Amino acid sequence: MSNEGKTESKKAKVISFINMKGGVGKTTLCREIGYTLNKEFKKSILFIDIDPQANLTQSLFEKYNLLPQDLFNDLKSDEQKEIKICNQSINVLLSGGQVTPEKDDLIAHLEENNPKLDLIPGDLKTVFLERNNTGSIAENSLDKFIAKKRVAEDYDFIFIDCPPTYSFYTTAAFNASDYYIVPVGIDPYSVLGIDLLEQVVFSIKDNNWRAFETKHLENMGIIFNPLGYTSNATISRQFSNQKDSIISSEKLKKYQFYYFRNIFTYNSKYKEELGYFNIDSNDNKHNNNINSIVLEFLDRLSFLNSQLEDTNDSKDR
Ligand SMILES: Nc1ncnc2c1ncn2[C@@H]1O[C@H](COP(=O)(O)OP(=O)(O)O)[C@@H](O)[C@H]1O
Ligand SMILES: [Mg+2]
């Protein structure tokens, strides 16, 4: 059967980086995978920062010398020379206006040249939206913006960096996503966190069951991040044991998750430099690590996409 006339006109898959726990590497993996896909694999990327903490935005602003107008105004005039003003923000969308904004109101272009590297910046002010958010309007705003403005046609990948809370941000991200990736640190509560996340996904699908009758949202896999675990042999063994016990835990077995073979390597540079990106350095060990993760990510995605096409084909028949 031909692909013509299918609803699948969009190009980019939308992928959320999420976990109900903070500090597990959601932001770091989101930006490293996205940036490596752009620089090494020549893919066009749109990052969306839906976390009110806006860490992804801070690190990309640092790297590309950007600031929003109000912070720019606070600089001394000699400091201003280095900086470009960025007025785009996800606030425009989440504050719940009736009309879907234009791409230029939201999307900042980080790189002038192809392939595109773009960002919908987060904004610390979104913290204040939480109390008076407009419910389902805000929860559907991102999905609606991407669909109505045909955003996915402009990119190979759209990556959403999520906060560690079950809030309207999470729902907005999930409503817009095709897949999600779960970065996981190693501690005794990791199992509970992953289980909780799956329950959240279940509840979002259930609350929006009409939309999810036709919409697909699937866990792409779990990526382990050793965080506090350095390369010391004893500690790596401990890490490996704990990782195995998470994988074989009774609570998680039923989900049949995909666990990335490549784990994220510990890199002390992240703590030192906000705008640090692995592959801009000459550090072979870490370059190879992120490249392997990206290759595995691409493999996994093409497997899931082909499975999805098969399912759609059999529905069409
Ligand atoms: N593999 C790693 N090696 C070293 N530091 C890391 C690693 N992953 C994350 N970090 C650091 O740990 C902290 C939390 O990571 P982050 O990506 O912000 O987590 P989250 O988005 O889940 O809250 C950050 O300071 C980050 O730089
Ligand atoms: Mg984060």
Query: In this structure, is residue 4 part of a structural domain?
Result: no
Cα separation, 158 vs 187, whole angstroms: 30
Which amino acid is located at 14 in the chain? V
- Decide if 119 is inside a domain: yes
2 falls within a domain:
no
Averaged in consecutive runs of 10 residues, what is the pLDDT profile of the chain (317 residues)? 43 95 95 97 96 94 91 88 90 80 94 90 68 70 95 97 92 96 88 93 92 93 83 77 90 94 92 92 94 98 91 74
Residue 66 inside a domain? The answer is yes
What's the CA-to-centroid distance between 54 and ligand 1, angstroms?
A: 14
CATH number at residue 277: 3.40.50.300
Burial grade of 69 (CB within 10 A; 0-12, 13-18, 19 or more): exposed
**Ligand 2 ion: Cβ-proximal residues, 5 Å cutoff:** 26-27, 55
Residue 227 in contact with ligand 1 by CB distance below 6 A? yes
Q: How far is CA 120 from each of CA 28, 87, 314, rounded to the nearest angstrom?
A: 17, 10, 36
**CA of 26 relative to ligand 2 center, distance in Å:** 5
pTM: 0.93
Tens digit of each residue's pLDDT (9 = 90 or more) over 1-35 = 444 444 444 489 999 999 999 999 999 999 999 99
Q: Which domain holds residue 42?
A: 13-312
Task: Judge whether 18 lies within some domain.
Answer: yes
**Domain annotation covers residue 159:** yes
Our answer on whether the CB atom of 264 is closer than 6 Å to any ligand 1 atom is yes
- Contacts of residue 187, defined as CB under 8 A and 6 or more positions apart, other chains included, come to 242
- The total domain count for the chain is 1
**Does 80 map to a domain?**
yes
Is 31 touching ligand 1 by the criterion CB < 6 Å? no
Residue 8 lies inside a defined structural domain of this protein: no
